[in-house]
């Protein structure tokens, strides 16, 4: 077994914390790993990334070749696209859509989202908004980590245990916020995977998932099926576009009319 992933974002977003939690979960799963890091400057919004290579055998190199990564996990949408050339054809991009506009030539958001939402296997979520629902704006990176968990080659529960160990000294409130954030991200990812598997177009799925107010548990199967049926109608893209443009959260069990 071999699984390569890129974890990326901007300085100050907790990218290396995410990588560290993943690393400890890998060890707990009895797997091998190698990791390399590129440190940005948080005060200047510099790019930060980590290459994490996972295997059931010893890993010789910490570098990921073009077209070899199984997943790109990002806390910033442009950074997700920066590493997309490393992704395998069947690989996933998991990213927050909240931009960190840290350069003068940052692309127009409409153009950025048009490219991002065309990715065939994409979990796009409003991690900043879900973090607030979870109890702290600071757990944005944990929402993204939760959205990546189902695609990793070990049980998501191992990551939850690492989160509890990491934050227990900060008190029950912080632990709860991180666990809730993780489970919300996981719910968003499973909802996305179910709709993609049902044949809903990627650009439709991405726009809808970013606006759903996920709870820290999976969406009920009947709700998922109802969304799939609604979004596969001829006006599915129009509804998704309307939801995305409105920027208003939608409860999973309520499908708005167009």
Per-residue pLDDT for 43 more than 70? no
**62 — pLDDT class (breaks 50, 70, 90):** confident
Per-residue pLDDT for 92 more than 60? yes
CATH 3.40.630.40 is held by the domain 2-189? no
pLDDT of residue 46: 81
Per-residue pLDDT for 42 more than 60? no
pLDDT tens track for 182-224: 999 999 999 999 999 999 999 999 999 999 999 999 999 999 9
pLDDT of residue 102: 80
CB 184 within 8 A of CB 109: no
Beta strands in the chain (DSSP E): 2-10, 32-38, 47-55, 69-74, 87-96, 122-125
**41 — pLDDT class (breaks 50, 70, 90):** low
The DSSP letter of residue 84 is: G
**What's the chain's average pLDDT?**
94
What percentage of the chain reaches a pLDDT higher than 70?
Answer: 97
pLDDT tens track for 110-138: 999 999 999 999 999 999 999 999 999 99
Distances (CA, A) of 191 to 4, 33, 257: 23, 29, 20
Per-residue pLDDT for 104 more than 90? no
**39 — pLDDT class (breaks 50, 70, 90):** low
Q: Hey, where are the domains in the chain?
A: 2-189
Q: What is the pTM of this model?
A: 0.95
């Amino acid at each position: 077994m071999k699984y390569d992933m890129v974890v990326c974002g901007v300085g100050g977003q907790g990218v290396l914390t995410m990588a560290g939690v993943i690393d400890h979960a890998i060890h707990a799963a009895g797997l091998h790993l190698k990791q390399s890091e590129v440190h940005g400057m948080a005060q200047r919004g510099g790019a930060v990334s980590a290459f994490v290579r996972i295997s059931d055998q010893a890993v010789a190199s910490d570098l990921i070749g073009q077209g070899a990564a199984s997943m790109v996990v990002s806390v910033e949408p442009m950074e997700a696209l920066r590493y997309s050339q490393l992704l395998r054809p069947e690989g996933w991009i998991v990213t927050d859509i909240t931009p960190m506009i840290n350069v003068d030539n940052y692309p127009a958001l409409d153009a950025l989202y048009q490219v991002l939402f065309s990715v065939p296997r994409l979990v796009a979520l409003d991690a900043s908004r879900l973090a607030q629902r979870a109890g702290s704006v600071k757990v944005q990176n944990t929402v993204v980590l939760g959205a990546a968990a189902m695609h990793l080659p070990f049980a998501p529960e191992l990551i939850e245990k690492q989160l509890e160990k990491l934050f227990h000294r900060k008190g029950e409130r912080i632990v709860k916020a991180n666990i809730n954030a993780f489970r919300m991200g996981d719910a968003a990812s499973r909802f996305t995977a179910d709709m993609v598997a049902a044949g809903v177009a990627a650009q439709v799925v991405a726009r809808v998932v970013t606006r759903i107010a996920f709870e820290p548990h999976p969406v009920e199967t009947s709700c998922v099926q109802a969304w799939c049926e609604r979004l596969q109608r001829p006006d599915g893209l129009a509804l998704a576009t309307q939801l995305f443009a409105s920027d208003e959260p939608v409860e999973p069990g309520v499908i708005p009319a167009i």
